[in-house]
Structure 1
Amino acid sequence: MRIKLSFRFKLMVSYIILIMTPVIIIGTFSYRSSVDSAKTQSRSNIQGTLLQMRDNIMYKIMDVQRVSDQLYMDQQLTSYLGINEGGWNSYETLTKHLKPTFQNALDLSALHINIQAYVKNKTIPEYYFIQNNKENPLDLGKRYNIYQLDRIDGEPWYDPWKVSTVYGANQAMKWMQVAEDAQYGNISLLRNLNDYAKTDQIGFLRVSAKLSEIFDSIDFTKIGDQSTVYVYDEQNHPLFFSGNQDEALLQPTAGDKKSGYLNIEERLEGLNWRIVAYIPTQLLEANADSIRQITVLVCLISFLVLMAISVILSRMFSVRIYKIIASLNAFRGGEFRKRISYSGNDEFAQIAEAFNDMGKHIDELIREVYISNLKKKEAELTLLQEQINPHFLYNTLSSISRLARFGEIERLHRMVMGLAKFYRLSLNEGRTIISVDHEIQQIQTYIDIQKIKFADGLDVTTEIDPDVLSYSTVKMILQPFVENALQHAWNGDHIHIHLYAYKDKDHIVFMISDDGVGMSQETIERVLNREASGGYGIRNVDDRIKLQCGSAYGVDIQSVPGEGTTIRIEIPCFMDPDENAPAERTG
């Protein structure tokens, strides 16, 4: 359904759009610039916070690496680990040299770390603390343990350090979670202990530290509520997190982009680790709320002020337009004498003058066309009507001739009298519109004539609603269908015809049904087709009704082969001024 908008409304909207467009553009640009600036500032602050976290982590990483370097670069430790003497000498090497060296290395770190040294020299006795497997060894304080290298020879995580490089022993150093580290939340720095003089491995060093201690600077509250900070290793596995552990953040996505989050990262140099902060976009947009509210408020005030100005301006112009519209509506209602009066010499005054002249000419032309169309319509109805009468007269005269030939004087007399009565009713002073009562009398006279012809072979039942008799109808719309049934619908030596007339809301419905042979759908379509041959009488009635009453009215045919046919004729309820009373019934 199309919405009708007034000229005043369209004019007002045009003013508002014209004035508000630059306001909206400038407001939108200012708002987005402010929001982008706020987001950039927030991102810069978060990036600075991540840099501080990274520096703090690297400091602690370097703290552990210093302990490892202290032992790795200690030439005396290398020489003591290479002495292959058993007995008392080995014990003395352990107590006087190895233990103090490892203890000094522990004291270098401010973190709670454990040192586990695995020595290749089988003459050096093991030294280690016995602990409960349910406890994190780092919770027991700083400790060092010395084991034989054979203890880890079968561990898969140790395999990379077994392979020698082209320079001798493997010099790689790597942070990994091995053995029970993942269970207790620890991580270890792994590297070989090498004898560079002999280019051979003399042991293996594992320095363990708590993840929570290394990453104690990772705190999501420094970023913002609902944020989450993850630390990923070089395989992109999470080592540590702070905040809400959302499984969706752990799912791999293209470019590590997470829907609904802004991610900012910092890399830990030399480790291939990443610190990634996931900040909900709604958190970044929180600062934009006040800017949005101010922008909306300014736009709203501007809108109200400009709307008031637009209403005043549009009213000034629309009042004159409404006068023209009122005159046009009067024209549409048939009042062509309506005129417009404007003072002044502007364009509206010129429109008014041209409109008044146009109205005068249209009034004259419509009167001429209306009279011409009425005459044409009456001529067409008369022509169609005249096409029916000869057909009926020919059939009736043929019946009269047959009766005369067989000497049936009584029936011949009755038929001639019925024919006279029929034509007295049908002539009707030459009118094409008659009352329904007159039409019913006419069809009843025709049926009486046919009963004389067919005697007991024809049975007719009529049901007429008295309320329809005072209305008017097109003349001779029932007789062609009764005649058609008597000519084509016989199914044996008897036929029954039922005639109805009743009112349906503001319509009058005539129905003629028979129990004859019926028609196929193809036959019905051919009868109603104006291009096909045959069916002239039926199409004649349909054409006359549509010509008089409009295309919404006319004839409808329903038929079942072998069972009969029903004709439905629908016309509007109307009264012709010349037929304002039912006709006097005669005969």
Structure 2
Amino acid sequence: MISLIRIRKRYMDLKISSKIVFIYLILMIFSVTVSSLIYEKIYDDITSKKVSELSVQTLYTIKSNINSMIQNINNNSRIIISNKDIQAILKNSNNRNGIDVQIDMYGYLSSMIDSMNNVSSIYIYDNFGNKYYIDKQSRKSFKLNKVESANWYKAAINEKGYYILRLNAGEKADLNPNENYVSFIRVINDMESQKPIGTLIININESNFVNCYKDIISKNGTNILLMDENNDFIVNPKDVSDFNQINELIRKELIKSDVEEEKNSIIEKIKGEEYIFSSLKIEEYNWIIVSKIPFKELSKESSTVYLMAFVFTIINGILLFIGAISISRLITKPIKKLLKSMKGIENGEFKKVNIEVGNDEIGKLRDGYNIMVYEIEKLINRIIEEQKVKRKAELSVLQAQVKPHFLYNTLDAMGYLALSGKCDEVYDALEALGEYYRTSLSKGREVITVGEEIEIVKNYFLLQKLRYGDIFTDTYEIDERVLNFKILKLVLQPIAENALYHGIKPKGEHGIIKLTVELIENLINISIEDDGVGMTEEELDKVVSDKIDNNNLSFGLRGTIERLRIFYGTSDVYEIKSRKRYGTKVNITIPIEEGWENE
């Protein structure tokens, strides 16, 4: 145990450069060992996936080429069947000289076949048993007495002018004949009556299908099989032996899955060598494309890439190890520990860092940081105290400004009464004013009870009624549970004054000012509402956004809002609602804090 403590102590006292070399060496050995163990598995998985994707991508390319070729033939066939001269011949060939008809039709077909590079021959049958054709190679010997007797004729009729594809015009061919061809078949309808007047057969030699993928199969040793809906070869394969060696069940499963899932891939061994067999369905014709790709050919390039990547990883590791030695004074792990300990300062927690390090550079950095935290905390505390003093001074100034303002208005009202010779009312006013100041001064207290604040408002309204008479009526709805709770002094009187001077008085007729005080959970909700002139949305926005103009609202209201903000430390302690010609309502929400209720 003592020896472990000594070793640990010696390690902690090492220079950071030595610590970096030691830790990096351990990590390097561990990383290379683990990488070597899992590399082969990862490599095999990635290679298999890549080979499958490449194989299917190849089939999609072939499918696109075949579709493009057949679509081109389809477009040309539309030109043929809509040709007015051909339509006329098919409808009236029985009434014309046979040789003349053959010559005319041959001329039309010759001009068409010259522009169709993928077509080996074109045949047209009319409804009178006549046949017209042109062939680039040799005449096709169809075993048909009448075109209506062909096994595909009913299917062509059902397509209502759309085409069908049949291998060798639907006739059975040997497994390895001289050539295969795909017959593009469609019924020719009268352009006017839309009734069948003939049949068009365009033959496509198998070599044209080979051209769709010959550039592809020249790479990676790929073999392609193209089969029709009956699983007959459209293109005679050069070498069928490898495919025949596959288990018949697997081959059927490949084709079955292809029908259900559109595409499929399997890996199978033939003569000890792995091949990937992929199939893709051409939905338009119910054909199937099957590819056979040697696994080693496709994986050869990937193998080289991954091998080079592995070699580069080792080389980079060695270079990084050498770099770690050359920059031995670079600080890594100890700095992370220090940063982790310092995270608390982001949340305002000024705690000293206590990480276990030796008497190295990190230890000195820790000590310097702790001194810095102490000085910052002391500075922040000093700033907070200064801000408190400043806020109290601002509050005192605002209160000093509000008191003379109200006194001025009250004396103005009393002067009006004295000039009117109403001595008794002057006496009542002086008595109310004395009661007002006795309550508002409250021996210098900053906060008074809600009940005392309400009495201030009542005395204020009494003084104003002596001056303005019955211009307004004041009503009260008071929850007696809140009377003994404390509130910031002189916050309701300025709001009541504003309701009178800027709500009721401009109205020019009798109005009502209502004071409501209620207890809602842990909040005291106070509202002063008048039915005076109210404010427009623009005027209300100025009040809410603290852009109050002296000409629009009394100084008392502005001062009260600012006092509430400063004292309660929030801007949402009040809310003002108003509608033009309907009046204004000011809500004040005050939190009940512990110790804020009189005994």
What TM-score, normalized by structure 1, do the two folds share?
0.51
Query: Which residue of 2 is the match for residue 533 of structure 1?
Result: 550
Corresponding position of 1:509: 525
Task: Give the CA deviation at 1:370.
Answer: 2.2
Q: Any conservation in 2 of the 1:175–1:188 contact (CA below 8 Å)?
A: yes
Distance 1:512 1:208, change over 3 A: same
Deviations 1:12-46 (A, max 9, x none): xxx9xx97999999988765655555677899999
1:458 aligns with 2:472: yes
- Does residue 1:231 correspond to 2:182, yes or no? yes
User: RMSD of the alignment, in Å?
Assistant: 5.8
Q: Select which of 396, 401, 404 maps to 1:387.
A: 401
Query: What's 2:87 paired with?
Result: none
Q: Quick check: 1:552 aligned with 2:571?
A: yes
Give the Cα separation in 1 of the matches to 2:462 and 2:57.
Answer: 103
- Measured after TM superposition, the shift of residue 372 of structure 1 is 1.4
Kept in 1, the 8 Å contact 2:440–2:456? The answer is: yes
Which residue, out of 529, 535, 542, partners 1:519? 535
Matched, 1:377 2:396: no
The yes-or-no answer on 1:565 pairing with 2:584 is: yes
- CA deviation map 1:363-394 (0-9, x unaligned): 32233222211111111011111111111101
SS in 2 for 1:496: strand
1:150-207: per-residue Cα shift (whole Å, max 9, x none)? 984365687317999xxxxxxxx974444389x9xx9988799xxxxxxxxxxx9884
Cα distance in 1 between the residues matched to 2:534 and 2:469: 22
1:479: Cα distance to partner?
Answer: 0.8
Q: In the alignment, which residue of structure 2 is the partner of 1:421?
A: 435
- d(CA) in 2 for partners of 1:481 and 1:398? 19
Q: Which amino acid counterpart does residue 407 of structure 1 have in structure 2?
A: G
What does residue range 63-74 of structure 1 map to in structure 2 within 5 Å? none
User: Secondary structure at the residue paired with 1:370?
Assistant: helix
Native 8 Å contact 2:517 2:527 kept in 1: yes
SS at match of 2:487: strand
Tell me how far 1:461 sits from its aligned partner: 1.0
Q: What is residue 179 of structure 1 aligned with on the other side?
A: 125
Alignment of 1:208-219 (within 5 A): 208-209=142-143, 211-213=169-171, 215-217=173-175
Q: Which residue identity is paired with 2:512? A: H
Work out the CA distance in 2 between the residues paired with 1:390 and 1:212. Answer: 113
* 8 Å Cα contact 1:218/1:241 also seen in 2: no
Q: Give a deviation string over 1:440-483, Cα, whole Å, max 9, x none.
A: 23223322333333444431111122343444433211111211
Residue 153 of structure 1: which of 87, 93, 99 is its match?
Answer: 99
- Check the 8 A contact 1:211/1:240 in 2, yes or no: no
Contact 1:403 1:411 in 2 (8 A): yes
Change in 2 beyond 3 A, CA 1:508/1:276:
farther
- Following superposition, the deviation at residue 265 of structure 1 comes to 8.8
Contact 2:450 2:485 in 1 (8 A): yes
Secondary structure in structure 2 of the residue aligned to 1:463: strand
Q: 1:398 & 1:449 partners in 2: Cα distance? A: 11
1:494 to 510, 516, 538: 510
**Separation in 1, partners of 2:223, 2:132:** 26
Name stretches of at least 5 consecutive residues in structure 1 with no aligned partner. Answer: 1-14, 48-149, 165-172, 193-203, 220-228, 243-252, 267-273, 296-313
- Secondary structure of the residue aligned to 2:476 is strand
1:511–1:180 Cα change, 3 Å: same
CA contact (8 A) 1:324 1:352 kept: no
Deviation, 1:514, is: 1.3
Q: Which amino acid in the other structure matches residue 182 of structure 2?
A: V
- Alignment of 1:434 with 2:448, yes or no, is yes
- The one-letter amino acid of 2:561's match is D
Equivalent pair of 1:530/1:539 in contact (CA under 8 Å): no
Cα offset, 1:423, TM superposition: 1.1
CA distance in 1, matches of 2:105, 2:341: 99
CA distance in 1, matches of 2:381, 2:467: 51
Task: Map Cα deviations across residues 459-511 of structure 1 (whole Å, 9 max, x no partner).
Answer: 11111223434444332111112112222323344221100122345543321
SS at match of 2:439: helix
Aligned ranges for residues 90-489 of structure 1 at < 5 Å?
Answer: 152-153=98-99, 155=101, 159-160=105-106, 175-179=121-125, 207-209=141-143, 211-213=169-171, 215-217=173-175, 231=182, 275=235, 282-284=263-265, 287=276, 323-325=341-343, 328=345, 332=348, 336=350, 340=354, 342-346=356-360, 348-488=362-502, 489=504
Secondary structure of the 2:529 match is: strand
**Counterparts in 2 of 1:481 and 1:155: CA distance versus 1, 3 Å:** same
In structure 1, C-alpha distance between the alignment counterparts of 2:60 and 2:469, rounded to whole Å: 110
- The one-letter amino acid paired with 1:231 is V
Aligned equivalents of 1:501 and 1:461: distance in 2?
A: 12
SS at match of 2:264: helix
User: 1:363 is matched by which residue type in structure 2?
Assistant: E
Identity of matched residues, %: 24
Separation (CA, whole Å) in 2 of partners of 1:276 and 1:431: 109
Deviation at 1:407, TM superposition (A): 3.0
Mapped to 2, the partners of 1:367 and 1:387 lie a distance apart of 30
- Tell me if structure 2 keeps the 8 A contact 1:556–1:568: yes
Structure number with greater Rg is 1
Equivalent residues, number: 387
- The equivalent of 1:270 in structure 2 is none
Compared CA separation, residues 388 and 45, structure 1 to 2 (3 A): closer
Q: Decide whether the 8 Å contact of 1:518 with 1:564 is kept in 2.
A: yes
Partner of residue 85, structure 2: none
Point out where structure 2 has 5 or more consecutive residues left out of the alignment. Answer: 1-26, 62-95, 111-118, 144-167, 187-199, 207-211, 217-221, 227-233, 238-254, 268-275, 279-294, 297-301, 303-331
CA distance in 1, matches of 2:475, 2:236: 96
Cα distance in 2 for partners of 1:521, 1:188 equals 88
Distance 1:32 1:537, change over 3 A: same
Equivalent position SS for 2:517: strand
Secondary structure at the counterpart of residue 208 of structure 1: coil
C-alpha contact 2:450 2:483 (8 A) present in aligned 1: yes
Mapped to 2, the partners of 1:547 and 1:525 lie a distance apart of: 21
C-alpha separation between the residues in 1 aligned to 2:109 and 2:339? 97
Seen in structure 2, the aligned counterparts of structure 1 residues 404 and 178 have a Cα distance that, compared at 3 Å, is closer
Change in Cα spacing, 1:408 to 1:275, as seen in structure 2 (3 Å) is same
CA distance change for structure 1 residues 527 and 154 in 2, over 3 Å: closer, same or farther?
same
Tell me the CA shift for residue 433 of structure 1. 3.4
User: Equivalent residue of 1:340, what SS?
Assistant: coil
Say if 1:288 and 1:355 are closer, same or farther in 2 by CA, change over 3 A: farther
